Amino acid sequence: PHAGPVENKNEAAMSELVPEPRQKPVVPMKPMGINANLLGYIGIDTIIEQMRKKTMKTGFDFNIMVVGQSGLGKSTLVNTLFKSQVSRKSSGWNREEKIPKTVEIKAIGHVIEEGGVKMKLTVIDTPGFGDQINNENCWEPIEKYINEQYEKFLKEEVNIARKKRIPDTRVHCCLYFISPTGHSLRPLDLEFMKHLSKVVNIIPVIAKADTMTLEEKTEFKQRVRKELEVNGIEFYPQKEFDEDLEDKTENDKIRQESMPFAVVGSDKEYQVNGKRVLGRKTPWGIIEVENLTHCEFALLRDFVIRTHLQDLKEVTHNIHYETYRAKRLNDNGGLPPMTVETEENHESNL
């Protein structure tokens, strides 16, 4: 009979130590919905419009890099993506260029406008990649270039008097062109993606996909996916950066079905059933670039431009650049070394 009060005592002692979980907070957990009609209109729904106006004024930057052997149609594909002559080749470079002895990096900028939206597009080409007999470490100049852009951004960012808007030359997206062999990836492909997937968003594409039959294409895509998985190569969109379930579902579909995109590029127009289409003429008909039953170019374009362009920029800034920045500042014990110029400015400020 004495057991009851003892238990109660224990309970009393416990409740002094641990607040009772059952006590309901006075403030309701869920915000109560305010009846807007009753209290009148505030106008917080104009925030989106305010943001739109601000970003429209500043415009957008997008820097895309194309990597792959000569003759895989890199320039043509970039021109097809943006429906204008934006590649290095079409921008007045000599078409009879010799293959460079080492990888050269050539960036060319354009301003593209559509529906009042201005985009400063930079196409970074890498002629000479994978074209030599000995391609050892030929990704190094590319990795160096990508890191140099991060460094440039970091230096601007840590300046005492820094610009309100730092010019963004960081590579947001790297289209890696895989040769349509139908066999497997070359060691060079694997090495490149292994090294660079840690510093940039890589999107693998199978170039000139019209050289394979539909069966060969499906088989080759599966094999490439398997090889990337076995070698632990993460391409964009990376699994660990999916923000929520909706993103995960959408991106899983892309990772498991679409990647790598088997594409055909063309900047020539043809007449098909009374319509003008971008395509490639063959003895047995016209391959329509934007027709999904012919190739996956439309999927790639929608993915890079219409659904994931902003995300490519955000992953570059929040993940790749942040990783570079943390490592760089750590190695330096804080800030990059002060130059004489910045020391003088610092003293004058003091």
Q: Is residue 9 part of a domain?
A: no
Q: Is residue 35 part of a domain?
A: no
Q: Is residue 106 part of a domain?
A: yes
CA separation (Å) from 40 to 35, 44, 162? 8, 12, 43
Per-10-residue mean pLDDT, the chain, length 350: 52 50 53 60 88 86 89 84 75 59 82 86 86 82 92 90 87 91 85 89 88 85 90 85 80 82 81 80 78 80 88 92 91 61 50
pLDDT tens string 51-76: 888 888 888 889 999 998 888 888 88
Q: Is residue 45 part of a domain?
A: no
pLDDT of amino acid 22: 52
pLDDT of amino acid 47: 92
Q: Is residue 19 part of a domain?
A: no
User: Judging by DSSP bridges, how do beta strands 117-125 and 261-262 pair with one another?
Assistant: unpaired
Q: Is residue 28 part of a domain?
A: no
Q: Is residue 12 part of a domain?
A: no
Q: Is residue 238 part of a domain?
A: yes
| CB contact at 8 A, 89 and 61 | no
Q: Give me the domain span that covers residue 172.
A: 61-89+97-332
Residue 250 and residue 299: Cα distance in Å, rounded? 13
Residue burial 327-337, b: 16+ Cβ < 10 Å; e: rest = ebeeeeeeebe
The total domain count for the chain is 1
CATH number of the domain within which 184 lies: 3.40.50.300
pLDDT tens string 298-316: 888 888 888 889 989 999 9
